[in-house]
Amino acid sequence: MIDFESVVQSFELLGAFDGIKGVSLILGMFAVASGVFLFLNHRRHLTEVMSDTQNKRILAFEVRKYRRRTTISAMITSTGFMLAALNWVNEPRVFTVFIMMILGLLLGILVIAVFDLFLVGLQQIATPDPRSQKAMIEAFLKQREEVVAQAKVESNVEVGPEGDHVAESVLEIPSPPSAEDGQATDENGYSSTSS
């Protein structure tokens, strides 16, 4: 079991090193810049979605997705500000509080991001794609035409558009004899009369 006091003491010890403060300032500036960039990118995407005329269901989903993602961007930006502020913190207890809040924000970012990933995946599964549906139908029709052409060649039977060759070919296949008939069958499955 992890002791909370030992965790606090290790963060206080970490705050005593001056080298960590310079690194936290650089990481904080990078996190602030990436959070602002993500926010602007999500805003641009929402503007594109709003300009297209789509159905209301997709539009509502995109607005909810925008809200989730801007929340994550704001959390990343605030994490960056807290990381940068660690440069000026001299008290070990305050440093520990800042680290705990940063870890809490990172956990929140992770939870919301996984939730968003799950919801976007479900939306993509549920949304039909007309191009892929058209390609799938064309592939099915091509396979069907190949089967019909092959059946024409094999059986020289006039095949209708509904695939009547299947019913005709089933009628041509001899049925295996039943045990009640008293007839023996050879290795090919054809019946021979035993007299």
Condensed to tens digits (0 to 9), the pLDDT of residues 103-162 reads 999 999 999 999 999 988 888 777 777 787 888 888 889 999 999 888 888 876 555 555
Query: Do 142 and 90 share a structural domain?
Result: no
Kindly report each contact of residues 161-170 with a partner whose C-beta sits within 8 Å and lies 24 or more positions away, as own/partner.
none
Query: Do 102 and 80 share a structural domain?
Result: yes
Does residue 158 sit within a domain? yes
Does residue 94 sit within a domain? yes
Matching residue, tokens 């019913």: 167
Domain residues for 96?
4-127
Query: Do 97 and 8 share a structural domain?
Result: yes
Least confident of 27-36, 38-47, 88-97, 182-191: 182-191
Does residue 45 sit within a domain? yes
Single pTM value for the model: 0.58
Residues 82, 80: Cα–Cα separation, whole Å? 5
pLDDT bracket for residue 171 (50, 70, 90) = very low
